Structure 1
């Protein structure tokens, strides 16, 4: 089993890094604000049609454009979900959602979280899926691209207050990166048997003589961007454990590749954009190191089995509970690590059925801020906040002013960095405490004791870090949880963007200093260790007490 695990990881990471190279080169041109060959006419037509200026923006203008764009997305998606019963492409005659579920879902998909407090096949029409959810899967990923591009330009530019144009970045990444990749992925999915139609649901009689309904819909098109955009929300309640979303071992492997493809490529593009590929490789190696360790721990925990089963005389050699036999334990464990490392939230196994340690690692990957690859754009700009913190700590140790990529890191930048890093932990801990202290919060917990606490902690961790996966034992479709989790998603997604863009604007206005003898090298194995140490230290200090009340005590019982 150990050899199988090593082989699986080796093949996966080799394929990932090979595919990330050409995509990283393409993204470098977009960061440099270059028009891709053959696309200038399309861009000009879009500017004229929309009546927008393509002039460069300062950080405040960039922020206003991003926030207004996403606010409009929430309003539009909320309206679609509320009016679903009156809209076309609704062959099952499904009614509109309750106002609190519609609001939660609208915030969820616009914020790239894709938390789903409903079963998709029994709740949403084809129109809501295509024109509502799938559209926002593209646009939320494009938002992450845009914010990251602005931050990288802040490092690369000097003596200017301009960070590019938000509308230009949103358009280019949607039309020329996400759409082509999604089209290719969707065609591959269809070739493997994933449905793509607008048909009514099919009813048939099984061999046992029982009537069963097969849900239909535009599955392949959403499945592609669900993975590439690191969104995670599927058409079916079982998500990628459903055979219509993920029918074969090939589609499972492709989905795992798709989730980390863009985040890995962005690390390489970052190094090229600042004209020092070593910097991008350093960040990538820090992510890969934490990822491999996390994958190894989850694989070991699930292969080692569930010790609680032995007490009942059951076979506890392997933890098969909640897993699809067509994927096996190792692929299910790797998928769980990828989806929580990448802020995707898609699942091909039930995380609630993992062992205590097997469930702790995905929870921890989210709690450290979704910086081990993370979401499209958001993962790298989150990691760069930790890099700035690491540089600051190192500067204190050697008695020098912190400096990164030739830019002095002053008090304003460190204040913004601290705010960006602390927003998600604050939401998680306060939200969990509120849920545990109220009757409405406790009413949604199906499992007593430490596991029930972990379900609430997992939910708040997932939404505050824009992941969207869940421990299934929590009844989340209530006004209390829809509003609490919706607020956490909204703040967790958009509040950190403010300090990130403020840092970008501040750095862009500063001159670039040449490296000197006393400059701290921000590449190589030593700095990789410093980045990992910073991420782990912040995560440990923040969440060890809450983890001790949940998965740790559950494991020790």
Structure 2
């Protein structure tokens, strides 16, 4: 079988599997977040945390709950890393430095999972399993809760109440993420992913030598890493490590895990607003972008210049022979179009245009289909922008799902889409403009940037794009474990995660207060393919106008050279 055909078949298998689970899982999620019944275990949790799940919260109270819970998570995970040297099962690993502990705590709580460390050489079992893996569950549940709050803003009227954050959080954990993770972990173990608490030991090599490695509860962390679109690997090689991703079957299953909840949430959206066709319009928009990027990534990694690449049958440098070009290209496109950040190849080793696609996928806002929860609310923000643009073209007050998009609503949406470009371009410019000598403690550029010219620029741009978009993947050529990068990327992660949530929840509250507007002959039919096409165009144009100059200086210049 040719590698190209293998790539097409993998793409078809993913689409088929997602189509099979889209409706049942989407309906189940809608039932979970619409239910008024509380399970016994949920009641115990509410009693322990002192929450009343029946109290309906307006958007300021919902936001305060999100921020307070996330702040507690950052502080707990920071302290856990700082005292690692005194914890059991640390296997001699010392405490994490303050700036790296801050970066890691911010990263995992914000669902980013950017890693400036080698997991198997820095973290013991307590920090890995009791700290990082737990935050993988919690951050994913927070993202879904915020998305559901925005959906309620569209579905409800004449009330500013968006539900109860604590109930949404607990239900997401107990009824969705934990059961799915248990099933997924069993599948991964069956595929060969390890699951143990072994310490550091020696294993044999093919050439007869030995090397030291450590075990871990890898399958249980790997499944929520992908299912929750987190991305933090147990080992430094991430999903290219054979203990995390041993073969082609596990690779395809991990891509499926990344996509399954974001894709199914579009069905949940349609059910909760009373029109499944609206959900299909959003799904169609996401699907067009994901399929387009996946096809382009396969093309650019298979069709390339140079005798060495042609002889290898693809751009194989930096890729695992277990997966080949097709498995790595699909993984790369998927992980950067969602807020996952898991990698099974070095993105820095992609062709120039392939690296540009990775960057552009994140710059779109990771909405195709995006992260768990964040992809849906990001796409709905873009839908509001698209409706507003359509209203300007026809001279009519824009409406979406029976709600008027007025001055207040469009300001919230505009602020949302401005946060990430400001962080990405601002921190990238500062890192390059404030370049320090290699021996400086800050080391903003110095010897942190491995590449030169356009590729070196792409390394820095990619790092802040990944951080501000809550992705977490790296271009694999930047030494980010410095005081400057740990601090600034950590700040970009926190601001890029929680500032947009402020505007999402404010928009949800404003929409929930409105009285529905009846449909007329002039109402824009947002469930039609025409609107989906307008939405795709708005996403690409807005992103292109914002980031095209930066892309032209980096991956485009390299790819066209």
In the other structure, the counterpart of 2:384 is 388
Per-residue deviation, 1:371: 1.1
**1:241-280 to 2 correspondences below 5 Å:** 241-280=240-279
| Matches of 2:208 and 2:309, distance apart in 1 | 35
- Residue 15 of structure 1: aligned partner: 17
Provide the C-alpha distance between the structure 2 equivalents of 1:314 and 1:406, rounded to a whole number of angstroms. Answer: 55
How much does 1:316 deviate? 6.3
TM-score, normalised to structure 1's length? 0.97
Match of 1:534 among 531, 535, 538: 538
> Which 10-residue stretch deviates more, 127-136 or 8-17?
8-17
Q: Deviations over 1:3-48 (max 9, x none)?
A: 433322122111112122211011111332443xxx5322222222
1:192 aligns with 2:191: yes
In 2, distance between residues paired with 1:553 and 1:220? 40
Closer, same or farther: CA 221–11 of 1 in aligned 2, 3 Å: same
- 1:507 aligns with 511
Say whether the 8 Å CA contact 1:17–1:264 is kept in structure 2.
Answer: no
2:133 aligned with 1:129: no
SS of residue in 2 equivalent to 1:496: helix
Give deviations 1:454-475, integer Å, cap 9, x for gaps: 0101111000000000111100
The CA distance in 1 between the partners of 2:232 and 2:309, in whole Å, is: 37
Match of 2:325 in 1: 329
Tell me by how many angstroms 1:198 deviates.
1.1
Q: Which residue of 2 aligns with 1:441?
A: 444
- Residue in 1 that maps onto 2:146: 147
Runs ≥4 in structure 1, deviation > 3 angstroms? Answer: 1-5, 204-209, 312-317
Q: For residues 92-130 of structure 1, what are the alpha-carbon distances to aligned partners after superposition, in whole Å with 9 as ceiling and x for unaligned?
A: 210010000000000000000000000000000000011
Residue range with higher mean Cα deviation, 204-213 or 193-202: 204-213
Q: Which residue of 2 aligns with 1:345?
A: 341
Instruction: Decide whether the 8 Å contact of 2:32 with 2:175 is kept in 1.
Output: no
Instruction: Please state how far the C-alpha of 1:556 moved relative to its aligned partner.
Output: 1.8
Moved more, 137-146 or 187-196: 187-196
Q: CA, structure 1 residues 70+386, in 2 after alignment: closer, same or farther (shift >3 Å)?
A: same
Contact 1:85 1:95 in 2 (8 A): yes
Tell me how far apart the structure 1 counterparts of residues 36 and 309 of structure 2 sit (CA, whole Å).
65
Corresponding position of 1:549: 553
In the other structure, the counterpart of 1:69 is 69
Residue 196 of structure 1 and its aligned partner are, at CA, apart by 1.1
Distance 1:34 1:251, change over 3 A: farther
SS in 1 for 2:176: helix
Distance in 1 between the 2:126 and 2:41 partners?
Answer: 27
Distance of aligned partners of 1:319 and 1:44 in 2 relative to their CA distance in 1, 3 Å threshold: same
What is the root-mean-square deviation of aligned Cα atoms in Å? 1.3
Q: Does 1:485 align with 2:489?
A: yes
C-alpha deviations, 1:138-175, integer Å up to 9, x for none?
00001001101110000000011111000000000011
Do residues 359 (structure 1) and 355 (structure 2) align?
A: yes
Given that residues 248 and 327 in structure 2 are in contact (C-alpha distance below 8 angstroms), is that contact kept between their aligned partners in structure 1? no
Alignment CA distance shift 1:96-1:62 (3 Å) = same
TM-score, normalised on structure 2? 0.96
Choose 24-33 or 291-300, whichever is displaced more: 24-33
Partner of 1:516: 520
Count, aligned residues: 550
Match 2:393 to one of 392, 397, 402:
397
Q: 1:464 & 1:377 partners in 2: Cα distance? A: 16
**For the residues of structure 1 that align with 2:309 and 2:370, how far apart are their CA atoms?**
40
Spell out, residue by residue over 1:205-246, the C-alpha distance to the aligned partner (whole angstroms, 9 max, x if none): 445443311321110110010010000101101101000000
In structure 1, the residue matched to 2:170 is 171
Structure 1: gaps spanning 5 or more residues: none
CA distance in structure 1 between the aligned counterparts of 2:509 and 2:492, rounded to whole angstroms: 26
The worse-fitting range, judged by mean Cα deviation, of 1-10 and 140-149 is 1-10
**8 Å CA contact 1:33, 1:164 repeated in 2:** no
Partner in structure 1 of residue 455 of structure 2: 451
Give yes or no for contact 2:33–2:171 (8 Å, CA) kept in 1: no
Using a 3 Å threshold, how does the CA distance of structure 1 residues 141 and 313 change in structure 2: closer, same or farther? closer
Write the distance in 2 (CA, Å) between the matches of 1:242 and 1:303. 23
Structure-2 residue corresponding to 1:369 = 365
Structure 1 residue 313: Cα displacement: 9.8
- Structure 2 unaligned spans of 5+: 437-442
Structure 2 CA distance for aligned equivalents of residues 26 and 251 of structure 1: 26
Q: Structure 1 CA distance, aligned partners of 2:505 and 2:422?
A: 20
Tell me the SS of whatever aligns to 2:295.
Answer: helix
